[in-house]
Amino acid sequence: MIYPIVIYGSPVLRKVAQEIDKDYPELNKFITDMWETMYESDGLGLAAPQVGKSIRLFVIDGEPLEEDEPALKNFKKVFINAKIIESSAETISLNEGCLSIPNLREEVSRPIKIRIDYFDEHFNHFDEWYEGMAARVIQHEYDHIEGILFTDKVSPLTKRLIKGKLASISKGKFSVDYKFRLPK
């Protein structure tokens, strides 16, 4: 099932998402639907709050970035109950976008490396370091389960410049070819 993508201004995008356990109702079906929704909307990653569920789950498939970073070829993962437990002091500024904030891209500065504790879809436990684009995409999706959006992390000047644009996005003044749901 393909979910509509929840758009900027919806309260669910601002909640700190809840942990789940392996008895979460229809977890496998939900993960399948997350992948389907992500591929349908051409995203690299998708977090559960973006389909209206405030739970600590996100999916990432780095394959489209393989050309720039061959290590991402087989980077396809489900992250459940993730916690970033360490970050490098060194940061890098890169352009980011988000399915919930259509047609807006801005520079965002983030740590180059992160250490993350999480479970996969079989509830196997991992504690791993990531760097490069993997670290970048993980941090973006991780922010979603913390109720944070990339536009919170831009410079104060950019924040002022995009204020009007964000207001129009939340009113549906954009065009995308995936299903979406505007804030009430």
Question: What minimum distance in Å lies between the beta carbon of 50 and Ni ion?
Answer: 6
For Ni ion, the nearest residue by Cβ is 98
Neighbour tally for 155: CB within 10 Å: 13
Enter the tokens of residue 180.
């979406």
Q: Report strand pairing: 180-181 vs 5-6.
A: parallel
Q: Which stretch binds Ni ion (CB under 5 A): 77-85, 95-103, 113-121, 158-166?
A: 95-103
- List the one residue from 13, 72, 78, 98 that touches Ni ion (CB under 5 A): 98
Q: Report strand pairing: 45-47 vs 57-61.
A: antiparallel
- Evaluate whether 58 touches 144 at the Cβ level (below 8 Å): yes
Active site residue 141: yes
Examine residue 59 and tell whether it contacts Ni ion (CB under 5 A). Answer: no
Residue whose CB is less far from Ni ion, 10 or 127: 10
Catalytic residues, which ones? 141
Binding positions for Ni ion, rule: CB under 5 A: 98
